Structure 1
Amino acid sequence: MLRRLAGGPRRLPPLLRRFCAPPTAAPPPAAADFMAQFLIDSCELPLSDAIKACRHLAHLKSPDRPAAVLRLLRREGLSPSHLRRLVVSMPKLLLASPDKTLEPKIRALRSAGFSPAELGELVTANPNALRVRDVIPKIEFWRKLLGSKQKFLKLARNVHLLSRRIDGDGTPILSFLRRIGMPDPHIAMILERRPRLVSSRLKRIELIAEQVQNLGVSPGSRTFVEAFSTVSNLSQATLESKSSLLLGYGWSRDDLLRAFRQFPIVLRLSEGKLRVAMDFLIKEAGYEPSYVARKAVLLGYSIDRRLKPRFYVLRFLKEKGLPGGRLDLLTAMMIAESKFKEKYLPLLQPSFPGMIGMYPDVAAVMNAVS
């Protein structure tokens, strides 16, 4: 197969063979050739991935050790897809001793409750599960904090998770978050949403927590989870830009803080969405900026599928003195779509027979009730 891809005799082309050599000493060309061929044949690796992987294996004079490792992993239930991903992400694993290193670790992982499929998911997402010492206590620590095996497997995609040292209360980041008053369930929520925080610098976490507290959000509250996620996801320049945009619509600093405390996601919305929503609510619908700040959740709804069509329906009902006309806009937004259509659209049917069919087409609804 390699001969066909390389277009020549048994060995790889010189240009490709050069990439298989380790940085210090170049092996005989035939060695690099046979290891790349072995990876292609045994793991179905593409030629480019085989070339990259063989940089770590080109010193081998036979494929016996890698073959034994692959046999063990197949026997333990890893699929061909798992093997390909594992070899690409950590080819040095093929140099480990199957009997002395890998088999005991796999046996420990299986005894910890991981099925063959879960084992494959874990080691391909985080090969450190087969490399680091004391991996089981670390897994149990994170699994207990997160509350389930599936949540741990998701967080394990952060390759640093199992290489971090755990002492006493865990990592320095966890100790800090607990110290400022965050309960474990809230810490788990943050880690689920922002897995990279596990490997962040402590000073960065301290700065984010300080910024969120300065915005008036208590670390012990559920809102702190959303606020922390928002601030950690945005640069200072982006936060300032979005804040300036909202202040430009007549919000005071207190309005901005109130909106953020109520709906921290507001600063994760794109500037385009914020601008369109504020233009509609203040300039077209006629709401005061302070009202929008108190009901900042409104900014998170779809403009064309929810906000505009429901507003026009409510405005018509109010003009005609019909039930629902005096409904608060946010209250109307929170009603399930099916219930809103069932309760309020029939009231428009006498005047607009086709309303149920055209809703929520904004242009059609607006033209009908205007």
Structure 2
Amino acid sequence: MVSLLANHLLQSVYLNEKLEEKEPSFAVSYFINYCGLSKKSAILASQRVRFRTLEKPDSVLNFLKENAFTNTQISRLVKIEPRLLLSNPEKTLLPKIEFFRSMGASSSDLSRILSSNPSLLIRSLEKHLIPCYDFLKSVLILDEKVVTVFKRSKWIFCMHNMVPNIALLRQVGVPQSTISFLITNFPSTAFVKHTRFAEAIHEVKEMGYDPSKTVFVNAIHVLLSMSRPKLESKLEFYRRWGWSKDVALLAFKRHPNCMLLSDKKITKAMDFLVNKMGCSSTDIARNPTVLFFSLEKRIMPRCSVIQILIAKGLVKNDLSPSTFILPGERGFLDKFVIKFEDGVPELRNVYKGKDGSFGCYNSVLEGMWGGKLVKS
């Protein structure tokens, strides 16, 4: 009798092991064939969730498709949160979809928000989504801005950080409109751990930034986006272009985002403006915004026009690059092309790149910005 019982138990264990071996294989096939996952991703997903029938996963996939999710978005959702396939569409997913629609989120917004942050469909509506929305609405006022934050940040549930961070900004005198700007444009910064956030505020104040200005929170964002070694490395990189530490800090104060530019982009712009155009690197530090524009599409075409105007004595040869690089398209055309077009009809073609090459007036440009010539 004991022997028969032991044999039965062994058979049960064997059958259960076989069933467990089979289930992952079934799940892997489902993830690959119906969810579009790679074999590697499917294996990983099958280790996090198991299902023995197609009823629940099929109902979830059908629900997502009915709500305008693309195959790519569904694949991303399932890859990140395979547990989603065990959800009840009517009881757990639909209320969350309706919640976002009540904010004014469009179908495209909705699918983008949820596929970028699948945990939103797993989290509790009452315990997480609604409290998060209520706080953001109290700060941002407009539902449209709240939707933007949901689209831009995966750290939306770090309210335990955001609440004291916002309180500290108010305490140091940052106006409501600027706080709204920070949360809407740099939400990940607003959700940073409070101790780090407080340190960044202290550092920015020490640099002399005015809390009443938008650039104050922009500087906070940059400091929190970079490690200290990376920031020091960027300052050192600028110093190679002739900026002293004080000049580099001046540039940072004028436009904090100049520290986020890639070394490659900085090199291209500085090499052209300093080495070829002869601009003062310090002058660029006073207006670092010029470094953000495309060299090929904006800086070089405009310099071509300025070359001609200087050569013909129509503008001064000590123009700061910011005077012709920063204005918008209409402003530049009015001031430097249309104004002189009757006397210099080739200006528009030069500006549009139809003159053949950049720098065709090199021979008459000696003395421009320190006496250096533009090299073709």
TM-score > 0.5, shorter chain as reference: yes
1:238-277 correspondence to structure 2 within 5 Å: 238-247=230-239, 251-274=243-266, 277=269
Q: Who is 2:14 aligned against?
A: none
For residues 289 and 298 of structure 2, the distance between their equivalents in structure 1, rounded to whole angstroms, comes to 13
Q: Who is 1:197 aligned against?
A: 189
Question: In the TM superposition, what is the alpha-carbon distance from 1:211 to its structure 2 partner?
Answer: 2.6
Evaluate the alpha carbon distance shift between residue 256 and residue 56 of structure 1 in structure 2; reply closer, same or farther with a 3 A threshold.
closer
- Match for 1:62 among 41, 50, 53? 53
Evaluate the alpha carbon distance shift between residue 367 and residue 308 of structure 1 in structure 2; reply closer, same or farther with a 3 A threshold.
farther
For residues 259 and 288 of structure 2, the distance between their equivalents in structure 1, rounded to whole angstroms, comes to 11
Q: Who is 1:141 aligned against?
A: 135
- Match for 2:147 among 152, 155, 159? 152
- SS of 2:212's partner is coil
Evaluate the alpha carbon distance shift between residue 35 and residue 157 of structure 1 in structure 2; reply closer, same or farther with a 3 A threshold.
farther
For residues 36 and 274 of structure 2, the distance between their equivalents in structure 1, rounded to whole angstroms, comes to 60
Question: In the TM superposition, what is the alpha-carbon distance from 1:267 to its structure 2 partner?
Answer: 2.5
- Match for 1:228 among 207, 220, 225? 220
Q: Alignment length, in residue pairs? A: 341
Q: Is the 1:212–1:224 contact (alpha carbons within 8 Å) kept by the matching residues of 2?
A: yes
Structure 1 residues without counterparts, runs of 5 or longer? 1-24
Return the TM-score normalized by structure 2: 0.71
Evaluate the alpha carbon distance shift between residue 254 and residue 123 of structure 1 in structure 2; reply closer, same or farther with a 3 A threshold.
closer
For residues 87 and 93 of structure 1, the distance between their equivalents in structure 2, rounded to whole angstroms, comes to 7
Question: In the TM superposition, what is the alpha-carbon distance from 1:286 to its structure 2 partner?
Answer: 5.3
1:19-98 correspondence to structure 2 within 5 Å: 27-58=19-50, 60-98=51-89
Q: Who is 2:199 aligned against?
A: 207
For residues 313 and 275 of structure 1, the distance between their equivalents in structure 2, rounded to whole angstroms, comes to 23
Question: In the TM superposition, what is the alpha-carbon distance from 1:216 to its structure 2 partner?
Answer: 1.8
Evaluate the alpha carbon distance shift between residue 150 and residue 88 of structure 1 in structure 2; reply closer, same or farther with a 3 A threshold.
farther
Aligned-residue RMSD, C-alpha: 3.9
Q: Who is 1:11 aligned against?
A: none
- SS of 2:208's partner is coil
Q: Which runs of 4 or more aligned residues in structure 1 lie more than 6 Å from their structure 2 counterparts after TM superposition?
A: none
Q: 1:256-295: CA deviations, max 9, x gaps?
A: 3333222223333344554565566566655556544434
Deviates more, 1:43-52 or 1:83-92: 43-52
Question: In the TM superposition, what is the alpha-carbon distance from 1:55 to its structure 2 partner?
Answer: 1.7
Question: In the TM superposition, what is the alpha-carbon distance from 1:63 to its structure 2 partner?
Answer: 2.8
Question: In the TM superposition, what is the alpha-carbon distance from 1:90 to its structure 2 partner?
Answer: 0.6
Q: 1:306-345: CA deviations, max 9, x gaps?
A: 5566557546645654356565542233343533333346
Return the TM-score normalized by structure 1: 0.72
